[in-house]
Amino acid sequence: MSLAVPHIIALIAISQAAFLIVYILSKKRLQSQNNIVFILILFIFIVLVLTNLANSYKIYVHFISYHKIIFILRQLSLIIPPLLFIYAQNVFSPGYFKFGKHFFHFLPFLFVVAYYIVKLIPLDNFIIALSPFRISSGTIILAQNLIYLVWIGFIINKYKKNSNLKDKSSISRKNWLRLMLIAFIVLWLVQFNSFIVMDLYRKYKLCPYTSSLYFGSVFIIINVILYNAVDISDVFKQNIKYVYSKLSPKQIDKIYSNIEMLMNKERLYNNPDLTLSSLSTIISVPQKYLSQVINEKTNHSFNDFINSYRIKESKKLLKESHKNRLTISEILYEVGFNTRSSFYKCFKENTGITPTEYRKKYIL
């Protein structure tokens, strides 16, 4: 069996993805829930590339006796988008995934696999290229994948709008997920092209072209992910320092709800002397757990978290400054800042403009 250049490129990409999986599994400090989800995405991706390799130009004849298994394995394409969705949610809200609660994401895969198993069992000499199931399977996969990709795009956009401060960690997470989303959008477009050319119009003479495009895209995507996995290391190290924490997800949610209540109703952030220690005393939670809760729920440090509330209130006061006649200096002390320089720096990081420029936008 001779391999063409695209096939060799695909095997290299598979080896690289496998290396990343082994590397993450070998580092105990990287074995967070989200990294396990990422590993599952990579593993299933490898399986899918192998099934496409076994069904590609000039190679498929060597695997005809396994075409039923290959066809069933190709339905794994219905698992990657839900996993990517869960991964995105977990990046922004650690501990988001609960198997029982989110099991419904995987029901389409189970139903489709069960249906095709029943249909394929009685068939003899099943060949994927000649199967009428190719169109139904391809349509379901492309439609479901597209829905999830759009959904994930909304999640990233929502996080971008709701992110209080532009800290380095938040930017890394946004950039990483945006990269993952773009990679799978490109892959979706390549698969859509193959579906039109090979499944709908059955232009088998173009098989070398579609195979080269697919395997070339896979190689580029894996290498881009590998490169950025090193460059955006914050994503993989996310909350690893809390791996041995005794706090359960329910306890984390309860503590964070208490913090939010105190911020929204009592407006503790208006106190310029508020510290992690003083807040810890108020809500009777040890400092290390309080810091963990804030970090896991918001991806912010304690100071950034408190300042986000101060900035939010200052924006409101600046909008209404023509009514309350407060000066910028009065506003910054009102919301809890100690110095003008820290207020201006924090405000510009959040909005991209100075308080003076922001206020001018709302002067009648």
What is the 3 state secondary structure string of 36-103?
Answer: HHHHHHHHHHHHHHHHHHHCCCCCHHHHHHHHHHHHHHHHHHHCHHHHHHHHHHHHHCCCCCCHHHHH
Q: Report pLDDT for 146.
A: 97
Domain final position from 185, 207, 241: 241
Domain final position from 174, 206, 241: 241
- Do 233 and 303 lie in one domain? The reply is no
- Do 252 and 214 lie in one domain? The reply is no
Dump pLDDT digits (tens) for 272-289: 999 999 999 999 999 988
Max mean pLDDT range (66-80, 126-140, 310-324): 66-80
- Do 321 and 229 lie in one domain? The reply is no
Overall number of domains in the chain: 2
- Do 314 and 222 lie in one domain? The reply is no
The CATH number for 307's domain is 1.10.10.60
Domain final position from 241, 274, 300: 241
Find the mean pLDDT for residues 301-325.
86
- Do 259 and 229 lie in one domain? The reply is no
How much is the pTM? 0.68
pLDDT-derived band at 238, boundaries 50, 70, 90: low
Find the mean pLDDT for residues 60-87.
89
Three-state DSSP state, 193: helix
**Cα distances (angstroms) measured from residue 293 to each of 29, 252, 255, 276:** 19, 6, 7, 12
pLDDT at residue 165 is higher than 50: no
Identify the domain containing residue 319 by its residue range: 245-360
Give percent above pLDDT 70 in the chain: 85
Find the mean pLDDT for residues 214-223.
90
- Do 337 and 350 lie in one domain? The reply is yes
Residue 42: Cβ within 10 Å count = 21
DSSP letter at 198 equals: I
- Do 35 and 109 lie in one domain? The reply is yes
- Do 111 and 260 lie in one domain? The reply is no
